[in-house]
Structure 1
């Protein structure tokens, strides 16, 4: 675990709401053309650090981390990530035997961190591990015990629940230390995290007969609402709202698709309404306002989609999507005696 830092109680955050510190580790085995281990740190869903097994170096991914943390900090982070990489390699080999699956591509992923709401005072912490995109072990923080939904995890659950020293380390990190680091980073990065950038909104269509999508991109912070109106009345049916995606520059994008036939929206007034902290944008659905494959596609959409796909690869593809949708928080495992390394990887 990282050494504790001074608690920043009393710091006033002008950007109110829920703030989070999250780390995602992903190990992959098999015939792959990307790093077999990656570590990603996210502060309020902005990537602020990155490590992979090819470069073997932990680096900052946001300016305030470059300015506020020195060489000793990044050297320490690098050594921890190198150690975690080695322990994850052992874990994957162990799990191959447990699940009797020696061939193919396998993933092992850990996500942990903490969050708090500076308006309600509510706090939460989480630690979870998954194997091949499925839950493997969970640390129940209220009871400070591990559970597993699969038989292959039972031996590890028993071993870890009998490790009182390890449980005390976890308790300290998730009740105190994680929040200390979160508040320190929020204070150091206040100017970056407080920024407000308006969305760019485009109406997109694959072909003249295809559904029309309202695409908002380049905005920050991430909170946005995209809705459709027909003759000034809200449309709730025939609408597919896409997931929030992260752009390469740390901004966000989101899409809402209207599934009505062209003759329907041509004889009525349809509008896409994008509401963001920065402003509200209303785009009237007309033929000359729609971009199709025959025309130019906004560069923000291309860059954003590519960046989002790369991020999903980095974060473990299917496993990350499962965790995001479930919003459950679960933890860690190994039956091979490597507990000391896998239990002490919590980052600053």
Structure 2
């Protein structure tokens, strides 16, 4: 179920070339001993850019361009950290109210909020959305046309106790688009930079394939392959996909099955990393240069990626519904003319 939720989450929020999104996933829980009581994740165009939880209560940038933005705009970091603390308090009050209303005194309960905005930079049109899920099911969503909350099933009995409209409208209709436009400016600047990778030969056990692993490169326009006597080979070769690192750079691997390679023939093989606008990085197949399982960094990377996927899966869990698997969210459209009522702005 969690894997399916994650796939649907990606499906709903992969942006088009002219449409960009800023989404906040907020999760508060009770009864979970191994997970922070509150977690907030910020996502721009499907990429995690910020994180905060009830333990740190401080906004943490997850991309290089976000770090640069915070350095250029010190008030932005403070603003995000303050909003993290406020959201923690508000969501905790909400989940306590819901549990009391439904007479739930024990067990594990999870309240999730997904809010944000999409911006079409061609026609300069903004759409906004704010939705809640409780214990894995859709709970309520904000209808921006009527400025009312639409509750699902038994949650409708909470109609008179749910007081959230004013703050949500101000944030998702006005502050969110301004933040998103500022973010895209920094993203576009970062696209112009280039970073070369470090390339290593890795092997889990003496009988395992040798993995040629490149990490830390940017952008993701790269390829890598094995050669024998200067010619690219495909037999006994397994190509991995380009994967993102937590700092915004990328990694790539290509494995070579050496079970049929004679020791005296090792020198005939090399790994080639090709990067747009840069010279090829060539790494000879040399047993002395192979890093073994004891120092294999992929294990650490796997743990980090696994934790991030778990976090995103949990925060996006309420998206999936058993009866309507193929229905996506339908955010309300807010026209550009609504900006005339703008009474608040994003931090500098």
Please classify the TM superposition score into its range, dividing by the shorter chain length. 0.5 to 0.7
Q: Give 2:86's match in structure 1, choosing from 80, 83, 96.
A: 83
Q: Distance in 2 between matches of 1:304 and 1:236?
A: 28
1:27 counterpart residue number: 28
Match of 2:248 among 245, 248, 251: 251
Residue among 166, 179, 182 paired with 2:180: 182
Asked if the contact 2:27/2:112 (under 8 Å) is kept, the reply is yes
Offset, 1:182: 1.2
Contact 1:271 1:283 in 2 (8 A): yes
User: Retained in 2: the 8 A contact 1:227–1:235?
Assistant: no
Partner of 2:290: 291
Give the secondary structure class of the aligned counterpart of 1:196.
Answer: coil
Q: Is the contact made by 2:23 and 2:116 (CA closer than 8 Å) also made in structure 1?
A: yes
Q: Does 1:67 align with 2:65?
A: no
Q: Secondary structure at the match of 1:86?
A: helix
Kindly indicate whether the alpha-carbon contact (under 8 Å) linking 2:140 and 2:155 is maintained by their aligned counterparts in 1: no
Q: 2:138 pairs with 136, 139, 144, which one?
A: 136
- The residue that corresponds to 1:210 in the other structure is 208
TM-score between the two structures when normalised by the length of structure 2: 0.57
Cα distance, 1:118–1:304 mapped onto 2, change above 3 Å = farther
Q: How far has the Cα of 1:32 moved from its partner? A: 2.6
TM-aligned CA distance change 1:265 to 1:128, over 3 Å: farther
CA–CA separation in structure 2 for the residues paired with 1:227 and 1:97? 58
Q: Which whole-Å deviations, capped at 9, do the CAs of 1:35-76 have from their partners, x for residues lacking one? A: 311223345677655432234444666132243242xx6565
Structure 2, unaligned runs of 5 or more: 1-16, 320-324, 332-345
Q: Considering only aligned residues, what root-mean-square deviation do their CA atoms show, in Å?
A: 5.6
In 2: Cα distance, 1:264 partner to 1:308 partner:
33
Alignment of 1:221-232 (within 5 A): 221=219, 223-226=220-223, 228=225, 232=231
Question: How many Å separate the matches in 1 of 2:239 and 2:99?
Answer: 38
Give 1:36's aligned residue: 37
| Deviation (angstroms), 1:187 | 3.3
State the alpha-carbon separation in 2 of the partners of residues 328 and 107 from structure 1: 22
Match of 1:343 in 2: none
Rg larger for = 2
How far apart, in 2, do the equivalents of 1:131 and 1:234 lie? 52
- Secondary structure (helix, strand or coil) at the match of 1:113 reads strand
**Cα distance in structure 1, aligned partners of 2:51 and 2:226:** 42
| Number of positions where the alignment pairs a residue of Structure 1 with one of Structure 2 | 301
For residues 190 and 139 of structure 1, the distance between their equivalents in structure 2, rounded to whole angstroms, comes to 32
- How do 1:1-348 and structure 2 match up within 5 A? 20-33=21-34, 35-43=36-44, 49-58=50-59, 62-70=67-75, 77-90=80-93, 92=95, 94=98, 102-104=106-108, 107-114=110-117, 136=138, 153-156=152-155, 166=165, 178-187=176-185, 191=189, 194-221=192-219, 223-226=220-223, 228=225, 232=231, 235=234, 239=238, 241=240, 244-247=243-246, 250-256=247-253, 258=255, 260=257, 262-263=259-260, 274-277=273-276, 279=278, 281=280, 283=282, 286-288=285-287, 291-293=290-292, 296-297=295-296, 304-305=301-302, 307-308=304-305, 311-312=308-309, 315-316=311-312, 318-319=314-315
Task: Provide TM-score, normalisation by structure 1.
Answer: 0.57
| Structure 1, unpaired ranges of 5+ | 1-15, 333-346
